[in-house]
Chain A
């Protein structure tokens, strides 16, 4: 059994939908049709599969953390999405969407980015497929992720610094949507997470299901059964939904870990922004609050609608960790296993580390969604090195 598809209105239970300006409705309809058509076309699937293996380096391995496991008294496995080309899981979705964009005859990719991982992945795919690329990134993130900004430029993309609102991911999404409204005929909006208007949450999830499919097989080979706990960090929630998808029908407890300063499920209530109905951090009037997190990639006040649904049905639970716990976890994994994680998956590890008592004796599969090279500069400042 897999995750359910949304209904014809793009809803997972009550969540999801398509709340976009009229200008974009026909584009969303066209995208939905094109995606379904492509996904049912063997030649599209073959082309994507070969890019994922020969270009992105899939399958990514699962690594058992012997040192950390003995320290935490659990059996910890990492799904190594950090080993993908461009350094995170983002490439899975981007290759799928970029191929789709090409198939739809689009010449330009528009994307938003927080930490820059999705922006780098999009710029990479644009370079590979010979498309134009324009990435919107909040001014705050441009500063704290300057390495990724340079990578995008090297790859030939234009990076536009967004100076409105909180100057982070939320506002980058706003500007990317505004760009799309103006250029909808030639541009393809390559959204970076399982969020936005239908069909994005469903389509992006579908492109990331490869994580869960591989991890299910790999963890069963290592453990002889499915893990007790599968956990992942949550911003919009794409890496989490990817790995959850492989275990939805297992007994595994599914845990999404949000940053305390951007805990849409933990601190939000249902709302509508960026095309979707989902949990959202907002004030009493419905103004969206600014998320505050050490990790640019999770600095988002909303969450993908399918996570709101999985939370409401109880199939997954959502916890949050503080920046301080994340800083500790970042160093813990680096020292104990020789793996420098991105700050985003360090959230998931922070939860594992904090809940070590609860996890004692259990098998835990954690999605290591990205590597930490991009965060080293920021950590140098934080740790006063």
Chain B
């Protein structure tokens, strides 16, 4: 039995090599790391400009963050960008005057900043976020996002493209008459992809977080990466078995990317509030990955039960669909 499994592993490994799977993964690793190290960590949000209209000249402007304007019209023109914050002192009491950016959270931050400037409690840029400085926070955040994207997209495509190759070569039919334990055919692919994804996770985390931080978060991150990798690979396998050709698969992949993954990114990364997003399974995987990178791993038993239940269910479905495909192709 172990000989059979080793034979399958060797064949799948060579299939992955010939399809340049590892080269693509390496390319992604280099691309993500370059972006993180040369672009993202240097990105900083421009501070909200604050404009003050004080017709009675009651406030002597000392803060470097405040620009005084001469008229209400000038104030309105200055804050028209929906980013700046306006302060009006015409009625004696200060009034914050701002046009909504459309995001409730951002507007709230703008308001707080305006008040802080007015009260003179701004002591420079925000440097400490929890226990992380800005750079570490940025590194953790973007690494989690890239890893989630890589595992969702490439994990889904990786195993599916292997199976499509085998379908195209017709060798699936041959496996129908081999004295082989059919679940092993799926299991060997899964194992290879899992090892490859975990290795990718270790490298991406080490390169972009540094060895010290990486060692701290890796156990939890590897667990989340393993869960996501298995779920996406099995989902990709199922779709590849059910769909007749790669064109239909690509279309399905597009639909999946647009309607399944995009809402998760929007809800997780922007101020958009969708109450229904908690029912989206990918959202929980995404937040679990982020939490793992911020050293706050998910501890919900229900979450893990759901994940492992999904993996088992998907594996059983994949085996059944594979058997049906063999009978159809045979």
To the question of whether A and B form a pair in one complex, the answer is: no
Binding site for B on A (CB under 8 A): none
